[in-house]
Each structure stands twice: as structure tokens, then as C-alpha cells.
Amino acid sequence: MPLQAHLGDSASVSSTNSDTSAINKAQTESKAQSELQQPSAALEESQETQENKKKGSWFNRMKTGLSKSRKNLAEGMVSILIGGKEIDDELLEEVEDQLLVADIGVNATNRIIKSLTEQTARGDLIYAHSLYKALQTELVDILTPKVAPLVIDTSKQPFVILVVGVNGVGKTTTIGKLAKRLQGEGKSVMLAAGDTFRAAATEQLQIWGERNDIPVIAQGHGSDSASVIFDAMQSAKAKNIDVLIADTAGRLQNKTHLMAELEKVVRVMRKADPSAPHEGMIVLDAGTGQNAINQVELFNKVVPLTGITITKLDGTAKGGVVFNIAETTDVPIRYIGVGESIDDLRAFSPKQFVAALFETDDKE
């Protein structure tokens, strides 16, 4: 049974006064169910989202990919809000606990509970079921200011994207997917195999390049990463390439020598172009949960971060960390990944993301 319908059935029963006539009771139930099933203004789906549903493409893939996170958040909320009782401090505390369990984070949770408490005090929210919709609106409001598309400045040639992150977050795969995406937008792209620390990294990037007919600048294993990226910048400039995407080694933020090497990469890049990198993109694995916040803060001290890509949302129940990232950092979220397909890296849409978290699969 769909989550909202399940919640609506219970809410409509408790919101009916015991002395109300059978006719009024039926009308009240119908109204409560209708309210739950209609999306709020903040969650109205765009035409693109509706088309995706019809095609069974991105939105449905995202919805399926977020199934573990949905069980942690949306289904957890239904278990609390079922029964349709009036909102009180105890209920709000339960909602707060569930948000924290779902990895929403302390800052984002405090903001949400503060807003819901104020709405309840004003009489805008009365019954538990009304929190379900209000919560979705709050979540969209947290994400919206922290989303910005990647804009390629054509006055920079090449426009250099430096991709950073710790081991295992999917940097190289993200680079391949991003290159394909930019290529599809009509941009000429070159890749720099700056991860000279991991033996298979250069080979992996070269495979992505061969698949998409994208040139890759590389040197041998153990080569100087800064030198590789500098050479790539020179080559891209000579060939009038629009975008250069540079890979880097998967640095652990507590490895001083690796972070120092990354500082060197930035210094050397600026010898070729004082304004580079034009995009400092950090790739975060959603499964790391709240540790992702620490990664953003520490990498930002070395590389001026201007964008975030969040990967592996399909394999974790910690998708709520997206809200904490948005609430805690000043770096905008560019893309999310919810699968292995080359098309599973998409520009981040707050409304679609929240809708996918709070909708059940068609089979349910």
C-alpha cells in the first residue's frame, strides 16, 4: 500500500469527531485522504519529471535506487505518524529522532523541527498526518538554495575541472560519466590521468576515453601528478579543447603528504592558467554518512571547492546525508549518481530527490 495512502487512512479516522454524523465522517475522511495524496505546491513535479515517470527512466531509476534511504526516512515517518493523533511535543521529538536516524544531521534536523514547531503553534499544523507533507516541503527548502548547475565559462579555454576525493568514492567513474555528459552538450573534452598513485586509475580513465572518443593525457604509474595535469592543460590549449577534466589520487584527508601533493597540483596548474582550476569538484560517497561533511571541510582548505557530486546513493540507507551536506556546507551540489549506467549521473533536482524519497515503488 502506498505510504501516503496508508497514512491518510489512519489520519482520517482519528481526525473525525466521535459525535460527527456518518455523512460528515465520510466527507472528513475523503478530504484528509485527498490532502495527503495531492503534492504540496513546493513539490509539484516539473514537466520533465512527469515525462521521466512515463518513460520509466531517470525518476523511476532514482526512486528504485533510493529504496534503502526511503525505508530509513519516509517509511520510518509513517510508522510514527500513523494514527493521526494531534501534534504535541512528544510527537515532534519522535520526528526529530527519526530524522537523526535517517542521517539528516543535527543542523538540518534542528531547522526542520523549529519550523514544524512554529507552524504547529500558529495552528497551521494540527494532526500528525499533516506533518508528512510539511516535512517534505521543509526538505525541499533546505536543498534548493544549495543547488547550482555546472556552467562552463567559454572564455576559459580550456575550462579546467579538478576532481578530488578520498579512495573508493568513484572519482574516475564520475569523470567518465561527466565527460560523456559534457560531450553530449556539444563540448570538446580532454581527460588528464592525474591519479598516478593507483595502478589501475590511468588504465580505467583511458578506457572511458576510448569508449567516448575522448583524448586522455597520461604518464606512467608513479609519475608526478602535477606534471601530468600541467601537460594536459598545455595540450588542451593547443588543441582548443573546451573542457579539461583532471583526475587526482584518492587522498585520505589525514595523509599529510598526499594533501601536500594536491596543493602542488593547484600551484602548478596556476602556472599554466592563474585562474585554474575553474571548478573544484569533490566526489562524495553517500555511504560515508556524516563523514562526508569532514571531507568537504578538509579538502576545501587545499582546493577551492565549487561543486559537489554525490555518488552511490543506490547502495546506502544514508541518503539523508544529502540534506546535512546542503545545510552545513556552502558548496553547491552539482550532480548525484544512483547507478552504474553512464546515464546515472544527473544534475541534482531537490524536488525530484525528495519526491523519490517519499514515494513507494509501483509494486508496493
Residues 325-337 have pLDDT tens digits of 999 999 999 999 9
Query: Distance between CA atoms of 122 and 109, rounded to whole angstroms?
Result: 20
Q: Which of 68, 92, 71 is nearest to 80 (CA)?
A: 92
Query: Distance between CA atoms of 244 and 162, rounded to whole angstroms?
Result: 8
Q: What sign does the CA torsion over 283, 289, 292, 293 have?
A: positive
Mean pLDDT of 200-210: 92
Query: Distance between CA atoms of 280 and 249, rounded to whole angstroms?
Result: 14
- Phi (first) and psi of residue 86, to 5 degrees: -70, 150
Q: Which of 265, 281, 278, 280 is nearest to 156 (CA)?
A: 278
Dihedral class, residue 312 (left if φ above 0, else alpha if ψ from -120 to 50, else beta): left
CA-based R_g, the chain, Å: 23
Displacement of CA 239 from its chain's centroid (Å)? 34
Is 325 within 8 Å of 333 (Cβ atoms)?
yes
Confidence band for 253, pLDDT divided at 50, 70 and 90? low
- Phi (first) and psi of residue 209, to 5 degrees: -65, -45
159-348 fold: Rossmann fold (3.40.50)
One-letter amino acid at 335 equals: Y
pLDDT of residue 8: 53
Q: What sign does the CA torsion over 43, 315, 109, 323 have?
A: negative
- 25-60 tens-digit pLDDT: 344 444 444 444 444 434 444 444 454 444 457 888
168: three-class secondary structure by DSSP: coil
Q: What sign does the CA torsion over 97, 99, 102, 105 have?
A: negative
pLDDT: which is higher, 172 or 56: 172
- What predicted TM-score, i.e. pTM, was given to this entire model? 0.83
- Angle at CA 134, nearest 5°, toward 311 and 352? 30
For helices 3-14 and 128-143, give the axis angle rounded to 10 degrees: 140
| CA distances for 228 relative to 12, 68, 176, 219, 268, angstroms | 64, 40, 18, 7, 10
pLDDT of residue 290: 83
Mean pLDDT of 241-256: 84
Confidence band for 7, pLDDT divided at 50, 70 and 90? low
Beta-carbon contacts of residue 257 (< 8 Å; ≥ 6 apart): none
Does position 124 have pLDDT exceeding 90, yes or no?
yes
Structure-block grid coordinates of residue 226: 602535477
- Phi (first) and psi of residue 215, to 5 degrees: -65, 145
Structure-block grid coordinates of residue 204: 580505467
Mean pLDDT of 56-73: 85
Pairing of strands 345-347, 333-337: antiparallel
Domain 3-40+64-146 classification at class level? mainly alpha
pLDDT: which is higher, 252 or 28: 252
Query: In the chain, which residues fall in CATH 1.20.120.140?
Result: 3-40+64-146
pLDDT of residue 29: 42
Query: In the chain, which residues fall in CATH 3.40.50.300?
Result: 159-348
One-letter amino acid at 144 equals: T
Query: Distance between CA atoms of 182 and 164, rounded to whole angstroms?
Result: 19
Pairing of strands 307-311, 189-192: unpaired
Is 84 within 8 Å of 12 (Cβ atoms)?
yes
pLDDT of residue 256: 74
Does position 144 have pLDDT exceeding 50, yes or no?
yes
